[in-house]
Structure 1
Amino acid sequence: LSLEQAMLSQTLFSVAELHRIMEHPVVKAMLSKLVLFNPETQASGFWQDGHLLNAEGEKITLKASDKLLIAHPSHLFYAVQWDLYQKYLFDKEIKQPFKQVFRELYVPTKDELETSNRSERYQGHQVQPQKTVALLRGRGWTVNYEEGLQRVYHKEGFRATIYAAADWYTPSDVEAPTLEYVVFYNLKDGKEVPMKEINPVIFSEVMRDVDLVVSVAHVGGVDPEASHSTMQMRGALARESARLFKLTNVEVKERYILVKTEHGDYSLHLGSGMISKGGLQINVVAVQSQHRGRVFLPFVDDDPKTAEIISKMKLLSEGKIY
């Protein structure tokens, strides 16, 4: 069981188990950089000699009966602690073994919660069937001959299904399927499960998988604009990077980074990474190399587009692009 999988399955660990796990030097090196969370008390923090050290530097005493899990962003979001840990990772320059604190988070919309048992947020996107199936199979999804792509959650008692106007078994990508909606079914009676009853971690990860498909397997070989959740994550990274680099002429908006310099005002898109000035696009080519790691990102995952955007923000702010 990998640490990331333990986070996704919301595996609970006793304090005694964590003590034993931390005796393994390799696991300790990784787990000590991950935020742990107590679902009962909402306490969170990094494991430190049998205690938790939270984002405000406070030491939290643990009882022998406490059960902890590896926090998912949804736990920290609903406990109003997410942004505190984002700031903490930058301040301490902690590089997590996988995207945890800066993982893309997807929460149900008001419409999904109140008026529908289905999510239609990706409706209308055309995807390449072979690439879609390959991507999702690697993430625990299966192809059902009658209903399409689905993932079963036996412990929770339901399955997620992605519906599309598609034949997932076509030997070629001649006819690109169009995504329609995502729905959850009860395994016992086959009825649709309301979105508000779906565990927030599972909802977020299902939508993250669909978002991956829309981004990577989009028809035409051109990625669509990055999703709202991806841009939120990049915006948070940009804010913390600007604070770390002491860039006072940077303002992060919902979809753009605005940079004011003596050469003029620039807009850097959080999705595409394109730079514009006065409405005109400026062509800046990103050089992909082994040296891109010079820009600190608080996770090990390879994310060249985010690194490119943070680098461009810094160069614009310092007047090195104009």
Structure 2
Amino acid sequence: LVQPFKQVFRELYVPTQDEADKDESRRYSGYQIQVRQTLATLRSRGWVADYESGLRKVFHKQGVVVTLYARADWFSPSDAEAPAIEYVSFNRTRGIEPLHISDIDPVLYSEVMRDVDLTVSIAFVGGVDPETGQSTRELRAAIVRCTAEMLKLNNVRVDGNFAFIKGTLAEYTVHLGSAIVRQKGGNEIPIIPVHSSQRGKLYLPFVDEDPKTVEIVSKVVLLAEDNKLKDPTILQWIERQ
């Protein structure tokens, strides 16, 4: 399968009224994150670790440097550590004058917040935050709806934090935050995404920046056409109606 809608959905993050005259955003303050996952996620988005500042991303063309601050050791990450995000700051690459968020290119601000929201979604302590950022949930819901419409999957609907699928073998839900699959009645069905090179395993074929969104969309499509399932491991978990 090819994902023809890649990059169609770009959530727009706008500053709150409280942020406009400040040089930092605290909208993700207090979220505890896993250091290793945070590093992996943000490095793929162009962020680098700095001994003094923490995680930084420089926009040379706009002359802006962004810093994600959390009390963490980014160079020797420990699984025992669970730092909380404190703030995201915006500064000029040259000069010492304060850079207010209201003076920042809206697209630049939106992309930075999208990076942080993605990080919270992936690296929240304990797995995926059950209260994943609203923008992330809304984006995933929109992608699921669009996918169902494009593939003519009339047995898929989205309501709240879940995608509901009425398959041939059973009915299922997929959580838009954790990607956990449950059969109607509460039985969890363990479907684990793995690389295609691992033969005998399920291959989820979509390609996107956010692996959790990819996993959710792939599971929805898979279960919407459960009559085509061949994997014996998945089939044995499904209690057929």
Q: Is the 8 A contact 2:69 2:88 kept in 1?
A: yes
| Residues 223 and 270 of structure 1: CA distance in aligned 2, closer, same or farther (over 3 Å) | closer
Q: Could you say which residue in structure 2 is the equivalent of 1:39?
A: none
TM-score with structure 2 setting the length = 0.68
- Aligned residues: CA RMSD: 3.9
Q: Superposed, which structure 2 residues align to 1:250-269 within 5 Å?
A: 250-258=156-164, 267-269=173-175
- The alignment covers a number of residue pairs equal to 221
TM-score with structure 1 setting the length = 0.54
| Residues 174 and 292 of structure 1: CA distance in aligned 2, closer, same or farther (over 3 Å) | closer
Q: Superposed, which structure 2 residues align to 1:241-280 within 5 Å?
A: 241-248=147-154, 250-258=156-164, 267-275=173-181
- Residue 107 of structure 1 and its aligned partner are, at CA, apart by 0.7
Q: Could you say which residue in structure 2 is the equivalent of 1:284?
A: 189
Q: Could you say which residue in structure 2 is the equivalent of 1:101?
A: 8
Aligned counterpart for 1:194 among listed residues 100, 122, 135? 100
1:278-315 deviation line (CA, Å, top 9, x unaligned): 8x523122254646457xx5x56663332113333555
SS in 1 for 2:144: helix
| Residues 248 and 179 of structure 1: CA distance in aligned 2, closer, same or farther (over 3 Å) | same
Q: Larger % of helix: which?
A: 1
For structure 2, list consecutive stretches of 5 or more residues without a partner in the other structure: 197-201, 228-238
| Residues 121 and 282 of structure 1: CA distance in aligned 2, closer, same or farther (over 3 Å) | farther
Q: Is the 8 A contact 2:30 2:86 kept in 1?
A: yes
| Residues 139 and 111 of structure 1: CA distance in aligned 2, closer, same or farther (over 3 Å) | same
Aligned counterpart for 1:233 among listed residues 139, 142, 160? 139
SS in 1 for 2:186: strand
Q: Could you say which residue in structure 2 is the equivalent of 1:310?
A: 221
1: distance between equivalents of 2:47 and 2:114? 13
Pick the structure with greater CA Rg: 1
| Residues 152 and 309 of structure 1: CA distance in aligned 2, closer, same or farther (over 3 Å) | same
Q: Is the 8 A contact 1:163 1:180 kept in 2?
A: yes
- Residue 158 of structure 1 and its aligned partner are, at CA, apart by 1.4
Name the aligned partner's letter for residue 147 of structure 1: S
1:23-77 deviation line (CA, Å, top 9, x unaligned): xxxxxxxxxxxxxxxxxxxxxxxxxxxxxxxxxxxxxxxxxxxxxxxxxxxxxxx
- Residue 154 of structure 1 and its aligned partner are, at CA, apart by 2.0
Identity of aligned residues (%): 34
- Residue 259 of structure 1 and its aligned partner are, at CA, apart by 5.2
1: distance between equivalents of 2:105 and 2:160? 27
| Residues 218 and 273 of structure 1: CA distance in aligned 2, closer, same or farther (over 3 Å) | closer
Q: Is the 8 A contact 1:120 1:180 kept in 2?
A: yes
1: distance between equivalents of 2:58 and 2:79? 26
Q: Could you say which residue in structure 2 is the equivalent of 1:211?
A: 117
| Residues 115 and 306 of structure 1: CA distance in aligned 2, closer, same or farther (over 3 Å) | farther
Q: Is the 8 A contact 1:117 1:192 kept in 2?
A: yes
| Residues 309 and 192 of structure 1: CA distance in aligned 2, closer, same or farther (over 3 Å) | farther
Q: Is the 8 A contact 1:119 1:182 kept in 2?
A: yes
